[in-house]
Chain A
Amino acid sequence: MINSSLKTLSQMLASKQISSVELTQTFLTRIQQHNPAINAYIALDTDKTLAQARAADARIAAGNAEALTGIPFAQKDIFCAKGWKTTCGSKMLANFVAPYDAHVISQFDAAGAVNLGKTNMDEFAMGSSNETSYFGGVKNPWDFDRVPGGSSGGSAAAVAARLCAAATGTDTGGSIRQPASLCGFTGLKPTYGLVSRYGMIAFASSLDQAGPMAKSAEDCALMMNVMAGFDERDSTSLNRPKEDYTRGLANMVGAQPLEGLRVGLPKEYFADGLDADVAKVVQAAIAEYRKLGAEIVDISLPNSQLSIPVYYVLAPAEASSNLSRYDGVRYGHRAAEYDDLLDMYMKSRAEGFGAEVKRRILIGTYVLSAGYYDAYYLKAQQIRRLIAQDFTEAFKQCDVIMGPTAPSTAFKAGEKADDPVAMYLQDVYTIATNLAGLPGMSIPAGFAPSTDGKALPVGLQLVGNYFDEARMLDVAHAYQQVTDWHLQMPESLK
Chain B
Amino acid sequence: MALNIEDIHRIAYLARIEINEQEAASTLTKLSGILGLIEQMQAVNTEGILPMSHSQDLAQRLREDVVTQTNQREVFQAIAPMTEHGLYLVPKVIE
Give the docked Cα–Cα distance between A105 and B87 (Å).
30
Across the interface, do A346 and B16 meet the contact criterion of CB distance under 8 Å? yes
The minimal Cβ–Cβ distance linking B24 to chain A, given in whole angstroms, is 10
**How does the 8 Å CB contact mask read for A300-341 relative to B, with 1 for contact and 0 for none?**
000101101110110000001000100111111110001111
Across the interface, do B31 and A310 meet the contact criterion of CB distance under 8 Å? no
Give the docked Cα–Cα distance between A352 and B81 (Å).
13
Across the interface, do A363 and B49 meet the contact criterion of CB distance under 8 Å? no
What are the 4 A-B residue pairs with the smallest beta carbon separation, nearest first?
Answer: A437-B55, A381-B51, A334-B81, A382-B46
Give the docked Cα–Cα distance between A333 and B44 (Å).
42
**How does the 8 Å CB contact mask read for A236-264 relative to B, with 1 for contact and 0 for none?**
10100000000000000000000000000
Stretch from A64-72, A111-119, A177-185, A384-392 contacting the other chain: A384-392
Q: Which of A238, A330, A420 contacts B80 (CB 8 A)?
A: A330
Across the interface, do A437 and B56 meet the contact criterion of CB distance under 8 Å? yes
Chain B residue numbers with a CB within 8 Å of A369 are 11, 14
Counting CB contacts under 8 A, is A411 at the interface?
no
How many residues on chain B are close to A (CB under 8 Å)?
A: 51
Q: B-contacting residues of A (Cβ < 8 Å)?
A: 95-97, 99, 191-193, 206, 232, 235-236, 238, 303, 305-306, 308-310, 312-313, 320, 324, 327-334, 338-347, 349-350, 353, 358-359, 361-363, 365-367, 369, 375-376, 378-386, 388, 419-421, 424, 436-438, 466
Nearest residue, chain B, Cβ from A385: B52
Counting CB contacts under 8 A, is B12 at the interface?
yes
A331-B46 in contact given A192-B56, A235-B60, A421-B33 (Cβ < 8 Å): no
Across the interface, do B90 and A344 meet the contact criterion of CB distance under 8 Å? yes
Chain B residue numbers with a CB within 8 Å of A366 are 3, 7, 11, 31, 35
Across the interface, do B17 and A361 meet the contact criterion of CB distance under 8 Å? yes
Counting CB contacts under 8 A, is B50 at the interface?
yes
Across the interface, do A363 and B31 meet the contact criterion of CB distance under 8 Å? yes
Give the docked Cα–Cα distance between A192 and B52 (Å).
14
SS class, residues of chain A in contact with chain B: helix
Across the interface, do A388 and B52 meet the contact criterion of CB distance under 8 Å? yes
Across the interface, do A232 and B63 meet the contact criterion of CB distance under 8 Å? yes
Q: Which of A97, A193, A346, A376 contacts B17 (CB 8 A)?
A: A346
Nearest residue, chain A, Cβ from B82: A334
Across the interface, do A359 and B31 meet the contact criterion of CB distance under 8 Å? yes
Q: Which of B17, B19, B35, B91 contacts A344 (CB 8 A)?
A: B91
Chain B residue numbers with a CB within 8 Å of A350 are 17-19
Q: Which of B14, B16, B33, B35 contacts A342 (CB 8 A)?
A: B16
Q: A-contacting residues of B (Cβ < 8 Å)?
A: 3, 7-8, 11-12, 14-19, 27, 30-31, 33-42, 44, 46, 49-56, 58, 60-61, 63, 72, 75-76, 78-82, 88, 90-93
Chain A residue numbers with a CB within 8 Å of B37 are 308-309, 312, 421, 424
Across the interface, do B27 and A359 meet the contact criterion of CB distance under 8 Å? yes
Across the interface, do A382 and B55 meet the contact criterion of CB distance under 8 Å? no
Across the interface, do B49 and A320 meet the contact criterion of CB distance under 8 Å? no
Chain B residue numbers with a CB within 8 Å of A375 are 42
Give the docked Cα–Cα distance between A382 and B82 (Å).
44
Chain A-chain B contacts (Cβ-Cβ < 8 Å), number: 168
Given contacts A349-B15, A382-B51, 13 further A-B pairs with CB under 8 A are A191-B55, A193-B56, A334-B81, A343-B18, A343-B91, A346-B16, A350-B17, A379-B44, A379-B46, A420-B33, A437-B54, A438-B55, A466-B56
A313-B61 in contact given A382-B51, A383-B44, A385-B49 (Cβ < 8 Å): no
The minimal Cβ–Cβ distance linking A196 to chain B, given in whole angstroms, is 13
Chain B residue numbers with a CB within 8 Å of A341 are 90-91, 93
Give the docked Cα–Cα distance between A440 and B4 (Å).
39
Give the docked Cα–Cα distance between A303 and B49 (Å).
14
Give the docked Cα–Cα distance between A99 and B77 (Å).
10
Give the docked Cα–Cα distance between A345 and B90 (Å).
10
Across the interface, do A379 and B42 meet the contact criterion of CB distance under 8 Å? yes
Across the interface, do B40 and A330 meet the contact criterion of CB distance under 8 Å? no
Chain B residue numbers with a CB within 8 Å of A238 are 56, 58
Give the docked Cα–Cα distance between A329 and B81 (Å).
7
The minimal Cβ–Cβ distance linking B91 to chain A, given in whole angstroms, is 5
Nearest residue, chain A, Cβ from B72: A99
Q: Which of B36, B61, B88 contacts A329 (CB 8 A)?
A: B88
